[in-house]
Structure 1
Amino acid sequence: MPSLPTLKPGRPVGVVGLGIMARGMVANLKKAGFVVHGFSRTREKCADLIADGLIWHDSPGELAAAVDAVITMVGYPTDVEEVYFGDQGILGAARPGTLLIDMTTSAPSLAERLAEAAAAKGCAALDAPVSGGDVGARNGTLAIMVGGAEDAFEAARPLFEAMGQTIARLGPAGAGQHTKMVNQTVIAGTILGVAEALAYADKAGLDQSAVLDVIGQGAAGGFQLNVLGKRMVEGDFAPGFFVHHFLKDLGIAQQEAGQRGLDLKALKLAIAQFTRHAQAGGREDGTQGIYQSYLR
């Protein structure tokens, strides 16, 4: 395989999918000195990024041909397939030696397929989903869980260090996605617990903010309570991570667990609760929007 790129300030890096999370990642890549190229479905929504120096391309393939590394951060596994394998996709245009990093939360089997297809093209692929939400993306403090070859991981390290704080290679292709399923399973139960606990605090006549200040410093503390719990109390249900994307993740986790003979009851409950919330109009909420289910 051709040698992998040396990724350093001044080198071109592409980002495909410029939604909530990717915007923070783009800002941090630029701050680290990389020349950032971009593509998303709707150019008009990216006008501010273009005005701020993002080099726009009209297709994922056009972008891939111009950069040393491509980062994809799209919505669903079908979107991953489209941007990599489609008619104007990345794999059809990327130069040998290009590093392909899918940071979408997607199916482990698709990550394995992508790694095989990339290798056949003389490229290297990593699955590198993240955790930390919009706050972590903006602050460059994401947890990045990576699957793929060791040499590709080391080549990508400068990009990961620009975007994240906790960075680990967990194994071969697909291992990053499996780790993200573990992460989402933990969050599934935790976010329901936070919503239920705050509903209890409200019905008990407690000052919810005061409760958060106290228990957030104890064993219950963490991002779901300290950050998203605060948003629940403030009635801020704007998306840092969409409910419909969370349901996609939980569906993948349930499928992967089932294939391994696991019956994860808390995960099933979370899927049922979030599905009801989405059907009631909360599809575009952030995950903290589940709190509204306890107010009805």
Structure 2
Amino acid sequence: MDKRYAYSGNDTVGALVQTGLSAAGYTRTTDVASADVVLTYCTSQTALEDAYFDEDGIVQAARPGTLLVDLSAATPSFARELNAVAVVSELAAVEAPLVVANVALPDAFADKANLMCLVAGEEKDVAAARPLLEELAGDVQETGGSGSAQLARAAYTLQASAQIMSAIEADALYHAVQRSASSVEGPVGRAGATSPEAEQVLSAVSEGRFTGTYTVEMLMAELSAALMAADDVDLILPQAEACLHLLELLAVIGGADKAPAALALVYGEEAACAENGLDWTRAEQAYGGEADEDDDYDYDVNPDDFPGGFGAYSAN
């Protein structure tokens, strides 16, 4: 019997899904109503909500019994909402946020061993989704009931992003000292890595690898989802907020589709930024107005400037 899947979202992850589900015997269809399973990966909360809940969205279009698998980083509350709506609509919903271990690899999605899925939902639905997820990721970890995978994903994001940012700032300090001839005698080398994540990004910066399939836009989506989860429970996370501010600055000057290691360019010379296609005049235009002091998280960026739509995650 022909098995069909539909997919909505980011093209890079879409290619991963196509490779994996083709190996599992599925063929792709653009008709959600004819699909046995529908997978999504969006880098915007707005896009994710629209994909499922619009008048012509997945929930309305899918036939009863369809398995819905969301690979996006979202909030626990969204995962619980989707699960509740799916139950009422006689659908099966599974949250399976995708985790990239080494974000600095040029093709971070090429090797299953570099990918993990955290999975949550009704036990029978998770069991149905697991064979498909094992075609996509080398490690599939079940976390429990609805919302738990997104909570675990948020916790992972907060720690990984902190490692990335601190490594880049340590590297920036080393370069600044090296540029100041009177500050130190002799070469001072490179900042030492204190974690695997730090080593990955420091190596990429050292080698000038600022592009890759895992992008700043993806990291922003994950970090924004974690901040929204915190906002849902009235928790402020200053370190994560600062990280997102820096990433949004990089995106504004043209780095949304670059690898996270490109954040090192923000701390460097303007000429190096220009060589890598970054334009600081865009920051002057974007941040020319006054900030809204009433916002809890004042890191809103106009989503119309970025087709990927990550700005929608910032509207707390």
In structure 2, give the amino acid aligned to 1:145: L
Residue 185 (structure 1) aligns with: 158
User: Which stretch has the larger CA shift, 191-200 or 103-112?
Assistant: 191-200
1:117 match: secondary structure: helix
- 1:37-56 equivalences under 5 Å are 37=28, 56=29
Provide closer, same or farther for how the CA distance between residues 166 and 136 of structure 1 changes in structure 2, counting only shifts above 3 A. farther
Residue 109 (structure 2) aligns with: 137
Residue 24 (structure 2) aligns with: 33
Residue 49 (structure 1) aligns with: none
The answer to whether the aligner puts 1:157 opposite 2:149 as a matched pair is no
Provide closer, same or farther for how the CA distance between residues 284 and 257 of structure 1 changes in structure 2, counting only shifts above 3 A. same
Cα distance, 1:140 vs structure 2: 1.7
Residue 112 (structure 1) aligns with: 80
Residue 86 (structure 1) aligns with: 54
Residue 242 (structure 1) aligns with: 215
- Work out whether residues 28 and 140 of structure 1, in 8 Å CA contact, stay in contact via their aligned partners in 2: no
The answer to whether the aligner puts 1:14 opposite 2:6 as a matched pair is yes
In structure 1, give the amino acid aligned to 2:77: S
Cα distance, 1:110 vs structure 2: 1.6
Cα distance, 1:261 vs structure 2: 5.3
Provide closer, same or farther for how the CA distance between residues 175 and 279 of structure 1 changes in structure 2, counting only shifts above 3 A. same
Pairwise CA RMSD: 2.5
1:92 match: secondary structure: helix
- 1:168-207 equivalences under 5 Å are 168-202=141-175, 203-204=177-178, 205=187
How many equivalent residue pairs? 255
Residue 40 (structure 1) aligns with: none
In structure 2, give the amino acid aligned to 1:102: D
Cα distance, 1:22 vs structure 2: 2.7
Cα distance, 1:196 vs structure 2: 2.1
Matched residues in 1 for 2:164 and 2:157: separation?
Answer: 10
Specify which of 19, 24, 41 is matched with residue 16 of structure 2. Answer: 24
1:65 match: secondary structure: helix
Residue 52 (structure 1) aligns with: none
The answer to whether the aligner puts 1:275 opposite 2:252 as a matched pair is no
1:26 match: secondary structure: helix
In structure 2, give the amino acid aligned to 1:76: S
Matched residues in 1 for 2:239 and 2:10: separation?
Answer: 32
Cα distance, 1:163 vs structure 2: 0.8
Matched residues in 1 for 2:229 and 2:60: separation?
Answer: 30
- 1:222-237 equivalences under 5 Å are 222=196, 224-237=197-210
Q: What TM-score do you get using the length of structure 2 for normalisation?
A: 0.72
Matched residues in 1 for 2:59 and 2:229: separation?
Answer: 26
In structure 1, give the amino acid aligned to 2:37: A
Matched residues in 1 for 2:188 and 2:133: separation?
Answer: 42
The answer to whether the aligner puts 1:125 opposite 2:98 as a matched pair is no
In structure 2, give the amino acid aligned to 1:25: V
In structure 2, give the amino acid aligned to 1:36: T
Cα distance, 1:149 vs structure 2: 0.9
In structure 2, give the amino acid aligned to 1:284: D
Matched residues in 2 for 1:163 and 1:255: separation?
Answer: 27
Bigger Rg, structure 1 or 2: 2
Provide closer, same or farther for how the CA distance between residues 227 and 111 of structure 1 changes in structure 2, counting only shifts above 3 A. same
Cα distance, 1:247 vs structure 2: 2.7
Q: What TM-score do you get using the length of structure 1 for normalisation?
A: 0.76
Matched residues in 1 for 2:241 and 2:10: separation?
Answer: 31
Cα distance, 1:146 vs structure 2: 1.5
